Homo-oligomer: A and B are copies of this chain.
Amino acid sequence: MKVLAIDPGYGRCGVAVLEKNGGGKEILLYSACIETSAHNQFADRLSQVANECVRLIREYSPDCIALEKLYFQTNQKTAMRVAEVRGALINTAQGAGIEIFEYTPGEVKSAAAGHGSADKKAVARMLHALIKIEKEITHDDEYDAIAIAVTHLSRARTT
C-alpha cells in the first residue's frame, strides 16, 4: 500500500509518499516541501501546489491520498485559503480516481507520537523510529506530511 500524504498550504505544502509492504517498516519513497512565491497571485500558488501533486500521483501511483484537515484556526482568512488548496487537491484526487482520507492535527499527532499534544520535535523523533527515512529532512512541513502518511497507514492497519 502506497499513500501520498499532503499537509496542505499555499506558501509551503509538505508532501510525502510512504509505502508499506507486508510486515516490515514503512519506507519513505519521497518527501518534499513545495514552496510558492508570495509575489505570485493566490490562484497561481494554488495551482502550482495542485500541479505538483498531479505530478506525484503520476510518478508514484499512490493507492490513496491522505490530507490534514483543519477547521478552526486563529487567522480565519489563512484557514480559508488553506481550505481552498485542500479543495483543489480533493478534486485532483477525485479526477484521478484515488480515494481521499482526511485527518485532524490531533489525530496525526496521536498516531505519530502517541498523544495529541506532542510537539514537532517529539513527532520528528518518533517518525525516525517508526519508519525508514534515508534522506535528510529539512522542513517541518515534510515531517508533517510524513506524519499524516503514518497516521493513514496505522489506521489502515487496524480497520
Chain B nearest Cβ from A52, distance in angstroms: 12
Per a CB cutoff under 8 Å, which of B46, B71, B76, B77 touches A90? B46
Closest residue of chain B to A99 (Cβ to Cβ) is B43
Is A24 on the interface with B (CB-CB < 8 A)? no
Report A75 CB to chain B, min CB distance, Å.
10
A9 to chain B, nearest CB (A): 12
Interface residues of A (CB under 8 A from B): 42-44, 46-47, 50, 71-72, 76-77, 79-81, 83-88, 90-95, 100
List the number of copies, as a whole number. 2
Q: Of B71, B87, B93, which is within 8 A of A86 by CB?
A: B87
Query: Nearest chain-B residue to A48 (Cβ)?
Result: B94
CA distance A34 to B66 in the complex (A): 28
- Are A84 and B92 in contact, CB atoms less than 8 angstroms apart? no
Residues of B within 8 A of A90 (CB): 42-43, 46-47, 84, 88
Q: A71-B80, A86-B87, A87-B87 are in contact. Are A95 and B43 (CB under 8 A)?
A: no
In the complex, what residues of B have CB within 8 A of residue A87's CB? Answer: 46, 83-88, 91
CA distance in complex: A77, B100 (Å): 18
Interchain nearest-CB distance for A7 vs B (Å): 15
A58 CA / B147 CA spacing, docked (Å): 40
- Report A99 CB to chain B, min CB distance, Å: 8
